[in-house]
């Protein structure tokens, strides 16, 4: 299958005089054209940092990509110059940022903010860009006559639709959606997800969806990558991850979700907290919270093992010979 993006050994750190935060550690990921990948994990797992790394938006200082490659359409995004990267960003790769309240410029009309991206990348006149911006507003369910209104005149759900319109205005080949429904109520969440899925299908856009919500992933994704402490700990198709859950962390995430069919009095949350990324454990990063760890886990970091075709897990339980 033709891959639109391949991430190889990506390592991103935030360095200050006091400490080094290891945000993303030797991350490997591939995504095929037209495919959707759900990137799932707790706050602080490195999901947003990974997306910002792809976009070339890691703030430097203190952030720095210390190792790895991001191959997009045959080119390493980490090696191309800033001018060429700007041409890719927004045109070929777009991002829906996490908080619509802070992603929009409060003193510019929503229409002008959509048209700006179109003028830069599509080389259209101001009048033509305005026409296309109104079409994009209509496409996301907002009347075109609201072009001249300001962000404060829109609800949270409407603002998120504007952000989606900006991200999709130049028909990107890859869409990075960073928790696009977190700030929205349940009914608006469903509408936004339906909208993203519809536009993605119409434009054959590949997507990386960053979320905490495994229910959202089940709704819109083909592949799933479970991220913990800057590493992918389990990766596979939606069916493989949901029906043949392997990694203890993934099992813990599913155990934290209410099940309508069971009559359990309490959920089973994962004990403890995510490790400090400036002081990661020597061995497996999940070992301090794992209910099935052993001595080997404390001193050795397991490598990825393919448990079935296309299904990978980073755990000694699946290394030949088990934990022994």
- Is residue 264 predicted with pLDDT exceeding 80? no
Quote the CA–CA distance of 250 and 188 in Å, as a whole number.
27
Nearest CA-CA partner of 41 in 220, 249, 208, 196: 249
Q: Are strands 3-15 and 20-32 parallel, antiparallel or unpaired?
A: antiparallel
Tell me which of 266 and 310 has the higher pLDDT. Answer: 310
CATH superfamily of 3-92+173-258: P-loop containing nucleotide triphosphate hydrolases (3.40.50.300)
Q: What's the pLDDT band for 202 if we cut at 50, 70, 90?
A: confident
Within the chain, which residue ranges are assigned CATH 3.40.50.300?
A: 3-92+173-258
Find out whether 104 and 163 touch, Cβ atoms under 8 Å: yes
Q: Which range (32-36, 65-69, 184-188) has the least confidence?
A: 184-188
Residue 291 backbone dihedrals phi, psi, to 5 degrees: -85, -10
Average pLDDT, the chain: 89
Instruction: Please give the torsion angle defined by the CA atoms of residues 56, 277, 223 and 178, in that order, rounded to the nearest 10 degrees.
Output: -50
- CB neighbours of residue 16 within 10 Å: 10
Query: What pLDDT is attached to residue 160?
Result: 86
Q: Are strands 206-211 and 174-178 parallel, antiparallel or unpaired?
A: parallel
- Is residue 183 predicted with pLDDT exceeding 50? yes
Helix runs in 179-227, H state only: 186-203, 214-220
């Amino acid at each position: 299958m033709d891959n639109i993006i391949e991430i190889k050994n990506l390592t991103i750190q935030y360095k200050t005089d006091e400490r080094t935060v290891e945000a993303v550690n030797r991350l490997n990921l591939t995504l095929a054209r037209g495919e959707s990948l759900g990137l799932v994990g707790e706050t602080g797992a490195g999901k947003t940092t990974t997306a910002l790394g792809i976009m070339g938006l890691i703030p430097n200082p203190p952030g720095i990509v210390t190792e790895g490659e991001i191959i997009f359409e045959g080119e390493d995004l980490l090696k191309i110059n800033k001018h060429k990267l700007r041409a890719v960003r927004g045109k070929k790769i777009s991002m829906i940022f996490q908080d619509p309240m802070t992603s929009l410029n409060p003193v510019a009309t929503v229409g002008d903010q959509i048209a700006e991206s179109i003028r830069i990348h599509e080389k259209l006149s101001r009048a033509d860009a305005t026409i296309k911006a109104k079409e994009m507003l209509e496409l996301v369910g907002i009347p075109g006559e609201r072009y001249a209104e300001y962000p404060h005149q829109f609800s949270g759900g409407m603002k998120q639709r504007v952000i989606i319109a900006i991200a999709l205005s130049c028909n990107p080949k890859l869409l990075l959606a960073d928790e696009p429904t977190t700030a929205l109520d349940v009914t608006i969440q469903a509408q936004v997800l339906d909208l993203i899925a519809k536009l993605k299908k119409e434009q054959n856009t590949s997507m990386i969806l960053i979320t905490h919500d495994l229910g959202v992933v089940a709704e819109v994704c083909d592949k799933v990558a479970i991220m913990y402490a800057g590493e992918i700990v389990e990766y596979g198709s939606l069916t493989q991850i949901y029906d043949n859950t392997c990694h203890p962390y993934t099992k813990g995430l599913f155990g934290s979700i209410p099940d309508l069919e069971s009559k359990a009095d309490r959920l089973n949350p994962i004990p403890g907290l995510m490790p400090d990324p400036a002081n990661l454990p020597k061995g497996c990063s999940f070992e301090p919270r794992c209910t099935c760890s052993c001595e080997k886990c404390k001193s050795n970091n397991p490598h990825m093992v393919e448990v079935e075709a296309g299904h990978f897990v980073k755990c000694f339980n699946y290394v030949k010979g088990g934990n022994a």
